[in-house]
Amino acid sequence: MTSAIPLRLYVNGDRYEIAVEPRRTLADALREDCGLTGTHLGCEHGVCGACTVLVDGQPVRSCLMFAVQAEDSSVRTVEGLAPDEERLHPVQQAFWENHGLQCGFCTPGFLVLVAGYLEEHPDAEEAELREVLSSNLCRCTGYQNILTATMCAARAMRGEELP
């Protein structure tokens, strides 16, 4: 048995001083040690994408990274998308308005994936966004509404009128 080692994580701008075993995945550390249960764990082997978070701005599967590897990195989870208590992130707003979620289990992963991508690539076109969305699984198979929501979010983030 290896013992817990002290670790400093920066998540959504907050500092967390935790102690974890090296085998603790980033996903488990976020949920169990930081109390941020918005990140969901589906398959735990990198296929479903429910646990997607941004590490230094890049989307990663948090089940395929150990928490110790994220030391001193900047992590962003679904809890860190909305700008404040009153407003949703444009991607969250679009998912709400377009019924982009059914059971909601995969939603945090899709929100983080799409928000991260659109913030870096505001001019992304549909084919490119479909390719990005293929990263994650929705077992309700609500992909059409997820795509519609993503396209609406892209337009909103570019400041365009919505149809």
The residues of the shown chain that bind other proteins, judged by CB under 8 A, are 1-2, 5, 21-23, 25, 28, 44-46, 49, 52, 58-61, 63-66, 68-69, 113, 117, 131-132, 134-136
Nearer to other proteins among residue 4 and residue 162 (C-beta): 4
SS3 state of residue 74:
strand
Closest approach of Cβ 47 to other proteins, in Å? 8
Closest approach of Cβ 84 to other proteins, in Å? 27
For β-strands 14-20 and 5-11, DSSP reports them as antiparallel
Closest approach of Cβ 118 to other proteins, in Å? 13
Best CA proximity match to 38, nearest among 110, 115, 136? 110
Structure token pair of residue 121: 């690539």
SS3 state of residue 78:
helix
Nearer to other proteins among residue 46 and residue 83 (C-beta): 46
Nearer to other proteins among residue 131 and residue 160 (C-beta): 131
Cα separation, 123 vs 23, whole angstroms: 39
